Amino acid sequence: MFLIQSRISAFTQTSQTLQKTFRRCYASPTSKQATDTTKERLWKITLKRSPIGLHPNTRENARVLGLTRCGHVVFRPVSNELAGKILKIKEIVKVELVDKVTPIKNEAASGFQVIGRMNPVIAPGSKAAKPLLPLRKRE
């Protein structure tokens, strides 16, 4: 019972967040400056759950938005057409309203850092190039 209630509350919160975002984007502007700022807004859409096993129309909407795998992030301009597509897949995406595209680092850290070389390159003719022990002469 608790699991069902938590899913319903999460769904309700997502719907309310999207509705607030849409109201904020499409509110009638009072000045020219407000109109300019609304046009520059973007949606940052993150796929949180795979559409596998869902209705084919839901999978198609995710594909049209450019969401191909879990955790995939796309930036789309604010528009009525995209608002409808996002509302159809609101259960499996996270939507944020942003001003500009932020670069996403796709590479993981290597896990190590090179401090120095074990065998540094020795220039010929330098003191380091001379052998430490004298060489024996062959007889």
- When pLDDT is averaged across residues 38-66 and rounded to a whole number, the result is 90
Q: Taking 80 as the threshold, does the pLDDT of residue 75 lie above it?
A: yes
Which of 18-22, 52-56, 113-117 has the highest mean predicted lDDT (pLDDT)? 52-56
Asked if residues 76 and 101 have their Cβ atoms less than 8 Å apart, the reply is no
What are the domain boundaries of the chain?
Answer: 39-102
Cα(98)–Cα(65) distance, rounded to whole angstroms?
17
Number of H helices, E strands in the chain: 4, 3
Tell me the β-bridge partners of 88.
none
Q: What is the CATH number of domain 39-102?
A: 3.30.1390.20
Q: Is the dihedral of CA 81, 85, 87, 90 positive or negative?
A: negative
Q: Taking 80 as the threshold, does the pLDDT of residue 125 lie above it?
A: no
Q: Is the pTM of this model over 0.85?
A: no
Instruction: Give the other-Cβ count within 10 Å of 24's Cβ.
Output: 12
- When pLDDT is averaged across residues 123-130 and rounded to a whole number, the result is 70
Summarised one tens digit per residue, pLDDT across range 83-111 is: 999 999 999 999 999 998 887 777 777 78
Q: What is the pLDDT of residue 119?
A: 67
Tell me the β-bridge partners of 47.
93
Q: Taking 60 as the threshold, does the pLDDT of residue 121 lie above it?
A: yes
